């Protein structure tokens, strides 16, 4: 496939992107109703291209293509599927410049981080599941009935993958790679704000030899294309990543049809700095935890809890360090923080900072936009002095904003850390090994980091507890979630 309009993008320059099409059954096609949606460069606010706007008929065509392709793909051996997935990893690495350019343009990601994190991780995910595709196995069970009894793992059929705007490449690969490894077909609906890399990946998967119809990409809005995918009777599982609000709706809808789901939802993690922390390391980790991806990071750590004895010192060091973080054009290799991905996300951050001011919060640094080229820039912001019950502390802001609160005892730190409805990630800084284990065990989160932030790998499962969802991505856990167990008992 070479007609997505996304090829020939020069390395780390703002690319010219031709209008995108839907990818259904191995063909690039216009949407049924000829609908189109603008794609905006968040660093300028200007429309850079358009993509097709799928409706229910397009989703139906994609699911039909998936159903036709799923059987032959499932009947291939795991080793054959592994070869194809490994080629995807190789092509991602070979075409890294294009992927970096497109993803940075679409999301506003700094090119250097996009290459090192988003594109590198995408290749690693395909590589990892290429390995696991060869390990799918059942078990024999010895039972009192004279029989030969065994289990096997079978693919589910066609998976509906719905992804959010913030890590388009990684989050879609975290669904597509294990689903394909297990022998399923996929219909992917990327986020409406950031759909471009999904089209480039469709091209790459086709180039790697993924058969027509095994991956289908329908760009479009949540209310129409997303909803049609959720409700389609030909979909066997919904793999959803997004907000808790939409996730709740998606789980309810899929539950009505008794479809399995994975729900990767919102987060609002705490980073705890204990009095025995290595402060140099802790400061770096805290900053990474809230500015990475301009704070549009489900696993970010926007709530800093600092032991009272270090509170003033940490605030002072942070204020200086954060003010020096380079914010600007994502295509400048020196940039660390780019724009927010869309104007509505910037507006949300502004509303929360205004609320913090109303509630007596003290803006330690930032607290305003950065006016640059008409882009959606917001300065990394630290807010002190808010009560734990403040909405600014409790809710997911999803921008480069850190609230800071002091604590006295370990119990108090754990209580504050666990004191929101979310439970995706949590972290602590300590040099006391016993404390690291003790506190990690008490934190209500799907993943806990000690003495660094965002240590992620395709082999380490991630996912949430509480309002952050259920099910796990990454690791063998994700592969299993795209299979069903069959028991066979043969009388002897
Ligand atoms: P969102 O919930 O607004 O959208 C997510 C996806 O759902 C998009 O593709 C959207 O088009 C689709 N959608 C919207 N309405 C729909 C409907 N009625 N039916 C079906 N699909 C519909 O989320 P977002 O703003 O794109 O992303 C940010 C959110 O995602 C944050 O809450 C963040 O924490 C969360 N997130 C979670 C993880 C995780 O791994 N847990 C990872 C990244 C982002």
Q: Would residue 164 count as lying in a domain? A: yes
The DSSP bridge pattern shows strands 185-189 and 158-162 to be parallel
In sequence order, what are the beta bridge partners of 147? 491
Instruction: Please tell me whether residues 252 and 288 are part of one structural domain.
Output: no
Q: Compute, in angstroms, the gap from residue 245 CA to the centroid of ligand 1.
A: 9
Nearest CA to ligand 1 atom 22: 222
Q: Would residue 9 count as lying in a domain? A: no
Ligand 1 pocket by Cβ (under 6 Å): 162-166, 171, 189, 191-192, 221-223, 226-227, 230, 241-243, 246, 249-250, 264-267, 298, 396, 398, 424, 464, 468-469
Instruction: Please tell me whether residues 71 and 53 are part of one structural domain.
Output: yes
> Can you give the pLDDT at residue 386?
98
Q: Would residue 11 count as lying in a domain? A: no
Compute the C-alpha angle 180/230/191, nearest 5°.
75
Instruction: Please tell me whether residues 155 and 141 are part of one structural domain.
Output: yes
Instruction: Please tell me whether residues 181 and 279 are part of one structural domain.
Output: no
> Can you give the pLDDT at residue 11?
53
Instruction: Please tell me whether residues 239 and 279 are part of one structural domain.
Output: no
Instruction: Please tell me whether residues 138 and 186 are part of one structural domain.
Output: yes
Query: What is the rounded CA–CA span in Å between residue 407 and residue 1?
Result: 57
Average model confidence (pLDDT) across the chain: 97
Q: Would residue 7 count as lying in a domain? A: no
* Predicted confidence (pLDDT) per residue in 382-399, tens digit: 999 999 999 999 999 999
Instruction: Please tell me whether residues 302 and 205 are part of one structural domain.
Output: no
> Can you give the pLDDT at residue 419?
98
| Positive or negative: CA dihedral 235, 237, 238, 244 | positive
Instruction: Please tell me whether residues 324 and 218 are part of one structural domain.
Output: no
| Inter-residue contact 55 to 31 (CB < 8 Å) | yes
* Predicted confidence (pLDDT) per residue in 178-203, tens digit: 999 999 999 999 999 999 999 999 99
> Which atom from ligand 1 is nearest to the alpha carbon of 192?
11
Instruction: Please tell me whether residues 186 and 37 are part of one structural domain.
Output: yes
pLDDT band at 2 (very low <50, low <70, confident <90, very high): very low
**pTM of the full structure:** 0.97
- Which CATH number fits the domain that encloses residue 336? 3.40.309.10
The DSSP bridge pattern shows strands 270-273 and 46-52 to be unpaired
> Can you give the pLDDT at residue 1?
36
Q: Would residue 275 count as lying in a domain? A: yes
Instruction: Please tell me whether residues 142 and 274 are part of one structural domain.
Output: no
- Spot the catalytic one: 264, 396, 444, 473: 264
Instruction: Please tell me whether residues 213 and 103 are part of one structural domain.
Output: yes
List the structure tokens of 68: 């036709």
* Predicted confidence (pLDDT) per residue in 205-228, tens digit: 999 999 999 999 999 999 999 999
Nearest CA to ligand 1 atom 21: 226
Q: Would residue 8 count as lying in a domain? A: no
Residues of the domain holding 89? 22-265+467-491
List the structure tokens of 109: 């990601």
pLDDT band at 12 (very low <50, low <70, confident <90, very high): confident
Q: Is the pLDDT reported for residue 7 higher than 70? A: no
Q: Compute, in angstroms, the gap from residue 323 CA to the centroid of ligand 1.
A: 30
Nearest CA to ligand 1 atom 24: 164
> Can you give the pLDDT at residue 6?
53
> Which atom from ligand 1 is nearest to the alpha carbon of 298?
34
Q: How many domains does the chain have?
A: 2
| Inter-residue contact 342 to 165 (CB < 8 Å) | yes
Nearest CA to ligand 1 atom 34: 266
Instruction: Please tell me whether residues 330 and 441 are part of one structural domain.
Output: yes
Q: Compute, in angstroms, the gap from residue 227 CA to the centroid of ligand 1.
A: 12
- Which CATH number fits the domain that encloses residue 77? 3.40.605.10
> Which atom from ligand 1 is nearest to the alpha carbon of 424?
41
Q: Would residue 6 count as lying in a domain? A: no
Mean pLDDT of 283-310: 98
Choose the residue to mutate in 217, 218, 229, 246 for probing ligand 1, maximizing ligand atoms within 8 Å of C-beta: 246
Q: Would residue 462 count as lying in a domain? A: no
Mean pLDDT of 96-125: 98
Mean pLDDT of 423-448: 98
Nearest CA to ligand 1 atom 40: 264
> Which atom from ligand 1 is nearest to the alpha carbon of 165?
26
Mean pLDDT of 46-57: 98
Query: What is the rounded CA–CA span in Å between residue 3 and residue 6?
Result: 8
User: Is 395 part of the annotated catalytic residue set?
Assistant: no
């Amino acid at each position: 496939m070479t007609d997505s309009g996304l090829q020939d993008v020069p390395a780390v320059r703002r690319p010219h992107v031709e209008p995108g099409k839907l990818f259904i059954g191995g063909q690039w096609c216009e949407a049924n109703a000829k609908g189109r949606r603008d794609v905006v460069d968040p660093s300028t606010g200007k429309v850079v291209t358009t993509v097709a706007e799928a409706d229910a008929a397009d989703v139906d065509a994609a699911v039909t293509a998936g159903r036709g392709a799923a059987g032959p793909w499932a009947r291939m051996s795991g080793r054959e599927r592994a070869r194809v997935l490994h080629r995807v990893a190789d092509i991602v690495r070979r075409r890294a410049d294009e992927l970096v350019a497109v993803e940075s343009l679409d999301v506003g990601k700094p090119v250097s981080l996009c290459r090192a994190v988003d594109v590198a991780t995408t290749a690693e995910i395909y590589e990892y599941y290429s390995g696991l595709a060869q390990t799918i196995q059942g078990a024999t069970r010895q039972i009192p009935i004279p029989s030969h009894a065994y289990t096997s793992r079978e693919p589910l059929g066609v998976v509906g993958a719905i992804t959010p705007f913030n890590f388009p490449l990684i989050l879609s690969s975290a669904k597509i790679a294990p689903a394909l490894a297990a022998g399923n077909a996929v219909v992917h609906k990327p986020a409406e704000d950031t759909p471009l890399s999904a089209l480039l990946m469709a091209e790459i998967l086709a180039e790697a030899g993924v058969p027509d119809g095994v991956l289908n990409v329908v760009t479009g809005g949540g209310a129409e294309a997303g909803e049609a995918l959720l409700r389609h009777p030909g979909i066997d599982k919904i793999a959803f990543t997004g907000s808790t609000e939409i996730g709740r709706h998606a789980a309810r809808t899929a539950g009505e049809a008794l479809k399995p789901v994975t729900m990767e939802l919102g987060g609002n993690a705490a980073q705890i700095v204990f009095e025995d922390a290595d402060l140099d390391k802790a400061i770096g980790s805290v900053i990474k935890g809230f500015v990475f991806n301009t704070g549009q990071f489900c696993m970010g750590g926007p709530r800093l809890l600092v032991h009272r004895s270090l509170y003033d010192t940490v605030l002072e060091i942070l204020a200086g360090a954060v003010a020096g973080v380079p914010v600007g054009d994502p295509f400048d290799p020196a940039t660390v923080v780019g724009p927010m991905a869309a104007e509505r996300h910037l507006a949300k951050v502004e509303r929360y900072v205004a609320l913090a001011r109303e509630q007596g919060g003290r803006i330690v640094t930032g607290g305003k936009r950065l006016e640059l080229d008409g882009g959606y820039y917001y300065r990394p912001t630290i807010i002190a002095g808010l009560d734990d019950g403040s909405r600014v502390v409790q809710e997911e802001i999803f921008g480069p904003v850190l609230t800071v609160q002091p604590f006295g005892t370990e119990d108090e730190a754990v209580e504050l850390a666990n004191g929101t409805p979310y439970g995706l990630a949590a972290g602590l800084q300590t040099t006391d090994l016993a404390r690291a284990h003790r506190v990690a065990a008490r934190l209500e989160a799907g993943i806990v980091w000690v003495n660094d932030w965002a240590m992620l790998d395709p082999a380490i499962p991630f996912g949430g507890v509480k309002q952050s969802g259920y099910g796990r991505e990454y690791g063998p856990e994700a592969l299993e979630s795209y299979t069903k167990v069959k028991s066979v008992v043969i009388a002897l």
